[in-house]
């Protein structure tokens, strides 16, 4: 069931809303779309951060990365 909420927009938010509405979306659709897009970006960012943290905590993976970096450095041409 949909719920109505009220929100106070500052000038920047009002301009952003007008940009989204200019695509043909209603005010409600524009706000819902922006909320869903922001939530999706946050979930993606959190997922990436969790993956990075897991990789950083993996000592075996870190050791392997250092070995590969050392090998690549040894193969690099002088100059």
pTM: 0.61
pLDDT digits (tens, 9 = 90+) for 15-40: 999 999 999 999 999 999 999 999 99
CA 59 to chain centre: 26
Confidence label for 1 from pLDDT (cuts 50, 70 and 90):
confident
Helical H segments across the chain, by residue range: 11-21, 27-57, 59-75
Domain positions in the chain: 11-75
């Amino acid at each position: 069931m949909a719920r109505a909420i009220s929100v106070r927009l500052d000038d920047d938010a009002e301009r952003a809303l007008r940009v989204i509405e200019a695509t043909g979306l209603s005010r409600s659709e524009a706000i819902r779309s922006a909320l869903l897009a922001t939530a999706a970006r946050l979930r993606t960012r959190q997922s990436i951060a969790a993956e990075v943290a897991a990789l950083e905590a993996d000592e075996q993976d870190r050791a392997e990365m250092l070995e590969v970096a050392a090998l690549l450095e040894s193969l690099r041409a002088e100059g």
